[in-house]
Amino acid sequence: MRRFLAALALATASGALAQYPTKPVKVIVPFPPGGPVDGVARQVAHRLSESTGQNFLVENRAGGNSAIGSDAVAKSAPDGYTLLINASIFAINPHLVRVPYDVQKDFTPVALLAKGPLVVAVTPGLEAKDVRALVAYAKANPGKLAFAIGSNGSAGHLSTELLKRQAGLDFLIVPYKGSAPAYADLMSGQIQGFIEPVLGALPLIRSGRIRALAITSAKPLGALPGVPTVAESVPGFEFYVWYGLWGPAGLPKDVVDRLSAEANRALASPAMRERFEQQGFEAQTGTPGEFASFVREDSARSAAIIREVGIKAE
């Protein structure tokens, strides 16, 4: 009898897993189309669509530094049919501004999808070839350097402030409403630097419209051969942006398990790993519990940087 009940429970659980999803799934990206978060989301959604047989449809709902789209997911039904793919700014925002949700309580962590370094990009005419030369140039030309930030509190913003502090750089930080206008001014020489995720910068670097000065990972990046690390000039400097998948709070365990398993399967595939590497990311795999711990630890680290460098809300 005990074996029969155990077998029945296993069959019931397997049946529940097999049933989800039975209709299209909406994946909210709280940023405009075309950026790094959107790029990661569309690749993951495509693979989930293939593996589950149901469409995972990306919906861009930008605004509020990702708060508007994130809040829509927090307020959605916990049935697995409305999900969120967001970047590390999701765990940073609450330390800078009031958001209408609690990152830890109002969402169910599902999977860490990818992480990657940022690139210190400069206008092509700048003389400096590495961060050490950038420091020397800044000292020789006080007040002449301006670095962009695409959004307040983003990974790019935190890494820019951290580099400025650790390298002893003296430059002006210019806030922009998104990466596109910042890159336009970087190409024209209106500003001299911009630290952003690699994916958005790659086409401009490869076409020579901007120049990669350094990357923020501890090791060189295959997507940018020959580009030094910041750590070669500023020992110990290391910074990454990351991307994750969440559902609203109360997401059923069977749904979480199915999504986690399918995401891990996609991210472990050689094709996905190679594609991410070409774009400057490293695909991640792990359990929902490991992802939850990662988010808590990264949030605490971001809070410490915000306090240390004195970043304020806009």
* DSSP letters for 63-80: -GGGHHHHHHHHTS-SSS
Q: Which tokens in the block code for residue 111?
A: 């999977």
Q: Which tokens in the block code for residue 175?
A: 């806030």
What was the pLDDT predicted at 129? Answer: 87
Q: Of the candidates 140, 67, 58, 61, which has an alpha carbon nearest to the alpha carbon of residue 97?
A: 67
Same fold, 2-115+241-309 and 117-232: yes
Question: What's the CA gap between 314 and 311, in Å, rounded?
Answer: 9
The ranges assigned to domains in the chain are: 2-115+241-309, 117-232
Give every CB contact of residue 15 below 8 A, 6+ residues apart in sequence.
none
Does residue 248 sit in helix, strand or coil? Answer: strand
* DSSP letters for 169-198: ---EEEE-SSHHHHHHHHHHTSSSEEEEEH
**Max alpha carbon distance in the chain (Å)?**
83
- Tell me if 78 sits within 8 A of 247, measured CB to CB: yes
What was the pLDDT predicted at 314? Answer: 65
Residues 117-232: name the CATH superfamily.
Answer: Periplasmic binding protein-like II (3.40.190.10)
**Which pTM does this prediction carry?**
0.85
Block residue for tokens 């004195």: 310
What is the number of other CB atoms lying within 10 angstroms of the CB of residue 274? 12
What was the pLDDT predicted at 308? Answer: 87
What single DSSP character describes residue 218?
S
What was the pLDDT predicted at 18? Answer: 56
Question: What's the CA gap between 23 and 274, in Å, rounded?
Answer: 30
Q: What is the pLDDT along the chain (314 residues), one digit of tens a residue?
A: 433 333 333 334 444 445 899 999 999 999 988 888 999 999 999 999 999 999 999 999 998 889 999 999 999 999 999 999 999 999 999 999 899 999 999 999 999 999 999 999 999 999 898 999 999 999 898 889 999 998 888 899 999 999 999 998 888 999 998 888 999 999 999 999 999 999 889 999 999 999 999 999 999 999 999 999 999 999 999 999 999 999 999 999 999 999 999 999 999 999 999 999 999 999 999 999 999 999 999 999 999 999 988 887 76
Q: Of the candidates 297, 300, 264, which has an alpha carbon nearest to the alpha carbon of residue 283?
A: 264
> Residue 132, class by beta-carbon neighbours within 10 Å (0-12 exposed, 13-18 middle, 19+ buried)?
middle
φ and ψ of 237, to 5 deg: -70, 130
Task: Tell me the fold of 2-115+241-309.
Answer: D-Maltodextrin-Binding Protein; domain 2 (3.40.190)
Buried (b) or exposed (e) across 57-86, using 16+ Cβ within 10 A?
A: ebebbbeebbbebbbbbbebeebbbbbbbb
Compute the C-alpha angle 274/280/284, nearest 5°: 65
- Tell me if 306 sits within 8 A of 158, measured CB to CB: yes
